Structure 1
């Protein structure tokens, strides 16, 4: 951040940038820093419990989620989530409850919404599906 500010001040000093533009740029830098501080330490929690006692718990740092979505793009992640959910592992018969519940909400799991939630410091439940076969919870805490 310090280097960016120094570059902006140097551009003003050299007459390459107006003070108004410099101010706008500094405000953008400050806002970005505040956003990053707000998301530090938050976790994306994914919890899946099936009726036959299969349990999955995944905790991912929110900064990692944000960077991965930006790096590969939300469309790619949406495609991979959909592909994984339909993966043979869920059709083996052992985890039918999880498979059917995942199928219920796949269309509703919108990676763009997840990115929006991450970027806007949302806290709380993103997805909460409860069926007779399974419980699925995705939340930011």
Structure 2
């Protein structure tokens, strides 16, 4: 924003033409977009669900973030049952993830030895 003010002052003082000022401002906008795309490239890529039950059931589900909404329907019944048994709402988790939640979303360890983890990386 500060750069735009400087460019407008330069135009006002006659140091650069209106056309040159417009090109400079446009170039600033392009630089901002490339910075934003680089930042978005480092965003999390997978939703990972891990369930280890006391019955020795082990479930690992890795879902590409771009497909998370659709892929949540395909979570194995064992994993879904374990999540529900621990009062974990998959829809709430998905909403949080879609709004940008990162890292460890759910980490539940029951007294029976059940472990449920949902994280984004």
TM-score band, normalised by the shorter chain? 0.5 to 0.7
Kept after mapping to 1: 8 A contact 2:48/2:60: yes
Stretches of structure 2 lacking an aligned partner (at least 5 in a row):
1-18
Kept after mapping to 2: 8 A contact 1:49/1:98: no
Matched, 1:129 2:108: yes
How many pairs align? 97
**Greater share of helix:** 1
**C-alpha distance in structure 2 between counterparts of 1:45 and 1:84, whole Å:** 13
Q: 1:113 to 1:135 in 2, by over 3 A?
A: same
Residue equivalent to 2:13: none
Kept after mapping to 2: 8 A contact 1:98/1:134: no
**C-alpha distance in structure 2 between counterparts of 1:140 and 1:32, whole Å:** 19
RMSD (Å) for aligned C-alpha atoms: 3.4
**1:138: Cα distance to partner?**
1.3
Stretches of structure 1 lacking an aligned partner (at least 5 in a row):
1-14, 70-76
Kept after mapping to 2: 8 A contact 1:128/1:135: yes
Residue equivalent to 1:111: 94
Normalised TM-score (structure 1): 0.50
Larger radius of gyration: 2
Q: 1:109 to 1:134 in 2, by over 3 A?
A: farther
SS of 1:113's equivalent? helix
**1:125: Cα distance to partner?**
1.2
